[in-house]
């Protein structure tokens, strides 16, 4: 069974037992899920609670210690964790993990609080940053001095949707962008749901050079990408679970892996030799696609490490820099690779500070990491309504 299908099956079994208030069956289902997906901190904390509900205090305490070793914490004021409050008091690392960690400084503030920023890219030829707005369906260009202007704002006839991922190919003068019809886009209509495309722009003239769309008739949300040095583009689809590629000067959006491999793939990152593609799945951890034959294997930590909830992933030397907005706390982490498929330690770089909000994506420029803080996703309602709040910001820190 493919890994994505296995996770879905086992998660559904646990949910059914929970909804039916079958405590032992719920605990057993979570134990199977954790055995198969030990890198998922949410599964681990749920299993700790289930063990406590089943009266297994010692087992719950051990699991909480493993959870804390991942750098995670719990909001014990939330009644969802009432069953583990007593055990959590004996795990001081949980409270320590809630301390603020920051190595950065603010570089610029976005010109509008109604943008809902998702991605950031850097154009070395113009020494400027590009920011993608989901809410307004546009790309903003910002200089290092903080001054910003619109690069392009999409009209409905070009592509209906908010702009998610962006990627710059400075050598070839190209800016890539993904568009998806979603309720968070201010001009969303019901017929836009599931529409998605990859757009190719001339970075100097802003002219649209190409548009690439899936042809299978399914709903898609191509939301993340990376651009190789040879001009190839790799795009992940968080809705269909697919990973696509567009070859340099190619005209086809080509699927790379079969369905069921991923549930929600996010920002891919290339290895140093660009022969492998690291793909984080929001639920299941980090996979590696060998580009020569598209074989897939999964990164295994040899220490407790939470690898789910990754939105942005980037490689720097022998480390993977991950923006995790699906863990508790939301954070930016450096994972050290002992080998291409093994993580032996990690360091939390940003977490638990006022203004971090929902971080999304980043970009490496030299030895610095620039990232979007307070993106605005935490202000999006269930039907796409957008609550007022402060504008997003771009922060920077030197990579350790």
CB atoms within 10 A of CB 125: 12
**Helix (H) or strand (E) run with residue 300 in it:** strand 300-301
Torsion-angle region of 124 (φ positive above 0: left; ψ -120 to 50: alpha; else: beta) = alpha
Residue 93 C-alpha from the chain's centroid: 26
Q: Which residues pair with 332 in a beta bridge?
A: 323, 350
Rounded distance, CA 286 to CA 268, Å? 9
pLDDT at 91: 96
pLDDT at 170: 95
* Cα dihedral 264/265/267/271 (nearest 10): 160
The residue ranges of the chain whose pLDDT is under 70 are: none
pLDDT at 382: 87
Arch. (CATH architecture) of 3-96: Alpha Horseshoe (1.25)
**What residue ranges of the chain are covered by domains with CATH 1.25.40?**
3-96
**What residue ranges of the chain are covered by domains with CATH 2.120.10.30?**
105-398
Reduced to 3 states, what is the DSSP secondary structure of residue 208?
strand
CB atoms within 10 A of CB 268: 24
Q: Which fold has domain 105-398?
A: Neuraminidase (2.120.10)
Rounded distance, CA 322 to CA 333, Å? 5
């Amino acid at each position: 069974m493919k890994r994505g299908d296995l996770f879905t099956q086992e998660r559904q079994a646990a949910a059914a037992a929970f909804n039916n208030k079958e405590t032992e069956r719920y605990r057993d289902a979570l134990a199977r899920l954790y055995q198969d997906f030990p890198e998922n901190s949410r599964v681990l904390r749920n299993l700790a609670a289930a063990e406590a509900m089943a009266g297994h205090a010692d087992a719950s305490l051990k699991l909480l210690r493993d959870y804390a070793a991942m750098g995670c914490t719990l909001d014990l004021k939330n009644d969802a964790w009432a069953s583990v409050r007593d055990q959590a008091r004996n795990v001081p690392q949980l409270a320590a993990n809630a301390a603020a960690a920051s190595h950065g400084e603010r570089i610029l503030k976005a010109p509008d609080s109604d943008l809902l920023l998702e991605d950031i890219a850097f154009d070395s030829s113009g020494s400027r940053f590009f920011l993608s707005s989901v809410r307004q369906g546009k790309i903003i260009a910002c200089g290092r001095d903080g001054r910003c202007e619109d690069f392009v704002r999409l009209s409905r006839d070009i592509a209906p949707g908010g702009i998610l991922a962006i990627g710059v190919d400075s050598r070839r003068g190209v800016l890539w962008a993904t568009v998806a019809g979603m309720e968070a886009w201010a001009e969303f209509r019901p017929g836009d749901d599931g529409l998605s495309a990859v757009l190719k722009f001339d970075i100097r003239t802003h002219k649209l050079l190409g548009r690439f769309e899936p042809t299978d008739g399914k709903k898609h949300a191509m939301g993340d990408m990376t651009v190789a040095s040879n001009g190839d583009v790799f795009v992940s689809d968080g809705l269909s679970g697919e990973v696509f590629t567009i070859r340099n000067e190619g005209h086809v959006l080509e699927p790379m892996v079969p369905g069921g491999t991923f549930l929600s793939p996010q920002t891919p990152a290339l290895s140093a030799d660009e022969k492998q593609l690291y793909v984080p799945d929001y639920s299941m951890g980090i996979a590696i696609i060998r580009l020569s034959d598209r074989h897939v294997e999964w990164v295994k930590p040899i220490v407790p490490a939470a690898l789910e909830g990754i939105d942005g992933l980037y490689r720097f030397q022998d480390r993977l820099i991950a923006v995790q907005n699906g863990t508790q706390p939301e954070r930016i982490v450096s994972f050290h690779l002992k080998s291409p498929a093994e993580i032996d330690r990690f360091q939390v770089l940003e977490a638990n500070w006022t203004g971090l909000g929902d971080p999304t994506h980043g970009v490496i420029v030299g030895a610095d990491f620039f990232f979007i803080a307070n993106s605005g996703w935490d202000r999006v309602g269930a039907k796409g309504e957008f609550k007022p709040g402060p504008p997003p910001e771009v922060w920077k820190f030197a990579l350790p």
